[in-house]
Structure 1
Amino acid sequence: MAITVTAMALPEVKLIEPKVFGDARGFFVETFNARDFAEHVQVGVEFVQDNHSRSVRHVLRGLHYQIQHPQGKLVRVVAGEVFDVAVDIRKSSPNFGKWVGMHLSAANHRQVWIPPGFAHGFVVLSETADFLYKTTDYWYPDHERCLRWNDPQVGIEWPIDVEPTMAAKDAQARSLADAEVFA
């Protein structure tokens, strides 16, 4: 097996650590294999879109989700480092409102599977970061929602001590108590 998969504190969220083959020339890593993904992470997933964002230090993107056409996301960093967060926003879940976070970087090659039903976001810790992710559904701007990054009810412990830079839509995000969530 070319990957090690670990369930996070929110068990549906999976940390994926691919095997890295390195030597004096550099490294090789298989970043996605549909057979291994189905066997060790999630059966029946089909990715339809790949995205790439570049952000500078202290940019916070999220916490995003689509209330209709929910997206599963397979995320990774290919340059720099981010702190990546998933929040369970499924009202029927015993983990509703809980979060999990992890450091993703070009150096550690880690990936995270975030299934539909979770809000997702990250903050950049390095000078810049290139963030790549696959999604299981297309982007529908009319269905996009955003959970407030610093909602005290959720209580995410972001590893920054400054006010992050964010898009206007993210700055106007709703608290969990006021947000549209999944059943």
Structure 2
Amino acid sequence: MNNKNINRETIIKFNPSQLVNLPVFLLGMILIPGLCLLDDLIKLYLPSGFIPEEIELYIRNLPVYLALLYAIYLGYQILKISCIRYEISPEEFRYYSGILSRKHEFIENYRVKDFSINRPLIYRLFGLGNLTIYTSDKTTPVFKMEAISNPQDIYKTLRGLVEQNRRAKHVFEVD
């Protein structure tokens, strides 16, 4: 988390943790021994001479192809999380994501209505948490930031900026 005290500029920049990819990593821990077992089973039970040689080569290498496919998927998931960035400024909250096609989303601070912090056990072990922002924005009424570091500090900073922005723009919440 980088803090800057330049007025009208970004105050906080932060990214989600790769812990978001924990299910993908766990899948790999299950998949790799399964692929080794599949390789042994193919070598043991694949009848030779029954299947044409061109196809037999592909079947014998099936575990390698599946492992390569999983490695590509894992790399994509890691890159996808690495390309997410959040920024908080006195005027707005910014969200950037995407690998080849970048998505930029902006939420004016005065539109923020409420916050929610959720800290699952695995995230708490690493000092992380989820921060959900509820807004009156038409395109993004609920925005969730997963596995961010120090969600309470970010909440306090964002809440202060929301109140400051509302006072400056003379915006008051009416339900």
TM-score bin, normalised by smaller chain: under 0.3
The normalised TM-score by structure 2 is: 0.24
The normalised TM-score by structure 1 is: 0.23
Q: Structure 1 or 2: larger helix share?
A: 2
Name the structure, 1 or 2, with higher relative contact order (CA <8 Å, separation 6+): 1
Largest Rg, 1 or 2: 2
